[in-house]
Chains A and B, each alone.
Chain A
């Protein structure tokens, strides 16, 4: 590399995502069946697409205010009140971002000083670690165990808190495990967060894909609401991944600081996407219900089938992933996925791409048609038979 010395050491030191590497291999092959995608399989509901088209037709193509369209922020706050019973003010507590990803970035850059520690319960979505490191924070992983249904326990949390701990990332329902924290689960960790004054950064992007009961936002706990930062977006709930619209809900002092980064780096989220998002948040509750029910059914199906063919899989309570153990095969996660792709042309994502705690597991997305899932299962079954003689 010719600019070896010139490049920021932090960026150079970032590990390329294990998913990226896998995508590159899969992309070179033909007839690959993949259960490796982290986005819903529904095309965005037509009324939402139509709202984006209409905005463009009407020439609504200028910058919006930095925080995002006022009508959108009003819709978002009304939605949080309606669905999760959490009150935020659209003028003071909300920024519309370019997807949940930008939201994670500006949250971390706002709260972290060099060397601050962020507790990251793993297996975790791949971007958290990189974003924390780019903000010069230090990642402290805490393992969530399958026996605990991939939830964060107070015991595990307490063990990793130091005087440098600044925040904890909460992503429930979570990618890649589908783990969900109930109100009771949160009630056990809230006093700890309160006592130590730790920010609860709660990424609720999969909130609407909760299958046992209703999603609980940790922002409901008024005693830590000021130190809670909610990240959410339109990608998963409304199948709007390509629109790139997310948002942050937080205390006004935090919003004011985050807005500085957002206004200088982004200016505002894409205008036509914001108009689509207004339609989604105001008139999309029915779409959410239909899609969530379809995911719930496919979850039931795939868990039953995976257990039948010999991969121990717990029934996740949310998101659209299952995270089966492949330990019976004696293979590492990466070897398992490489050989599976090689022998059966089936692409899954190795669990260790989501942190060391994911070793011995694979992530399987069920955001696919039943036929695709069936084909994948039969390839997986054949693979297991041939490799476990």
Chain B
């Protein structure tokens, strides 16, 4: 049940408990308790809404940034990651394989804001010895959702055998 419940919620955080219970053929109380438990131990780390900011007519600037840095003795990369993650501008942060150590997504209201963040906060962080910033020009798919306008429009007949 656990994986199915999490998959359902990952796909749609707005399911009502009673619907989740019916879908999973489980008791409502059990579902409620399970979700509460997941929230408490951070299996469910939060709930998010996927917003197509382009359509909302709100300017928002996002960038993918590769960060090169040197690991610290004992802490490895975790300490420096924690430092970077604390900035609210950082939307997501990953330790990756390849040429860079970290990949970040940074959000700001415009290019200057993102540039300032890189120049004044990220790049001078102790241990960071290089950044490469790529501004996002257009979003086509985020969190598993396509944002394209040309929706697939196959239509089924009303009644078939």
Contacts and interface: CB of A to CB of B under 8 A. Distances in A.
A297 B4 contact: yes
Contacts of B64: none
B93 interface: no
A38 B161 CA distance: 5
Interface in B1-41: 4, 7-8, 19, 22-25
Interface of B: 4, 7-8, 19, 22-25, 152, 154, 156-161
Contacts of A39: 156, 160
A300 B24 contact: yes
A161 to B, nearest CB: 28
B8 A41 contact: no
Nearest to A301: B22
A17 B160 CA distance: 10
A300 B161 contact: no
A127 B160 CA distance: 12
Top 10 A-B residue pairs of the complex, sorted by shortest distance between their CB atoms? A36-B159, A297-B23, A300-B25, A23-B159, A301-B22, A26-B158, A34-B158, A38-B160, A304-B22, A126-B161
A347 interface: yes
B95 to A, nearest CB: 27
Contacts of B154: 43
A349 B159 contact: yes
A367 B157 CA distance: 13
Given A300-B22, A349-B159, 20 more contacts: A19-B159, A22-B159, A23-B157, A23-B160, A26-B158, A27-B158, A34-B159, A37-B159, A39-B160, A41-B156, A126-B161, A175-B161, A293-B7, A297-B23, A297-B24, A298-B23, A300-B24, A301-B22, A301-B23, A370-B19
Of B7, B154, B157, the most chain A CB neighbours within 10 A belong to B157
Interface of A: 17, 19, 22-23, 26-27, 32, 34, 36-39, 41, 43, 125-127, 175, 293, 297-298, 300-301, 304-305, 347, 349, 370
B158 A37 contact: yes
A17 B159 CA distance: 12
A43 B161 contact: no
Contacts of A17: 161
17 contacts: A17-B161, A19-B161, A23-B158, A32-B158, A34-B158, A34-B159, A36-B159, A37-B160, A39-B156, A39-B160, A43-B152, A293-B7, A300-B23, A300-B24, A301-B19, A304-B25, A347-B158
A283 to B, nearest CB: 20
B161 A127 contact: yes
Contacts of A304: 22, 25
Nearest to A304: B22
Contacts of A41: 156
A353 to B, nearest CB: 8
Contacts of B152: 43
A347 B159 contact: yes
Nearest to B160: A38
A304 B94 CA distance: 43
Nearest to B156: A37
Contacts of A38: 160-161
A298 B25 CA distance: 10
B19 A36 contact: no
A126 B159 CA distance: 13
Given A39-B156, A41-B156, A370-B19, A297 B161 contact: no
